[in-house]
């Protein structure tokens, strides 16, 4: 598929995909006889993973490290798993912090409604 379809399916912009490719976050993308990129389903799945990692706050340095491990092959699966587990732990901590903030906000809103009779 062309880059525009890969962008649509992954939720990333074409510019972001090109940036990820030039910065080494993507495995080599095949090109057709017309020199246009041809993305496979596996490439799009990788883009979706990168988008998810970015959206959840993984630093680009860590993403590059993860991509480098991926390019080295299956022998790096344990290390790649550790990178993802570390990120999952980070997300769990972040989720706890966000839940605490949401509870505080809900309490403040409830208190405001009590004071104003719900007419803020």
Termini Cα distance of the chain:
52
Q: What is the domain-level CATH number for residue 107?
A: 1.10.1660.10
Domain that includes residue 98, residue range = 3-116
Number of domains, the chain: 1
pLDDT tens digits for range 54-106: 999 999 999 999 999 999 999 999 999 999 999 999 999 999 999 999 999 99
Asked whether the predicted pLDDT for residue 119 surpasses 80, the reply is: no
Residue 77: which residues within 8 A CB-CB, separation 6 or more?
none
pTM, whole model, 2 decimals?
Answer: 0.80
Residue 46: helix, strand or coil by DSSP? helix
pLDDT tens, position by position, 26-40: 988 999 999 999 999
Q: What is the pLDDT of residue 114?
A: 86
Which of 46, 49, 47, 58 lies closest to 88, judged by CA? 58
């Amino acid at each position: 598929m062309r880059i525009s379809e890969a962008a649509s399916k992954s939720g990333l912009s074409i510019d972001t995909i090109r940036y990820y490719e030039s910065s080494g976050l993507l495995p080599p993308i095949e090109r057709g006889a017309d020199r246009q990129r041809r993305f496979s389903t596996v490439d799009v799945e990788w883009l979706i993973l990168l988008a998810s990692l970015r959206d959840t706050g993984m630093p680009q340095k860590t993403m590059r490290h993860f991509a480098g491990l991926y390019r080295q092959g299956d022998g790096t699966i344990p290390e790649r798993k550790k990178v993802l587990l570390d990120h999952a732990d980070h997300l769990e901590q972040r989720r706890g912090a966000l839940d605490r903030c949401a509870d505080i906000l809900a309490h403040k809103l409830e208190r405001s409604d009590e004071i104003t009779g719900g007419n803020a």
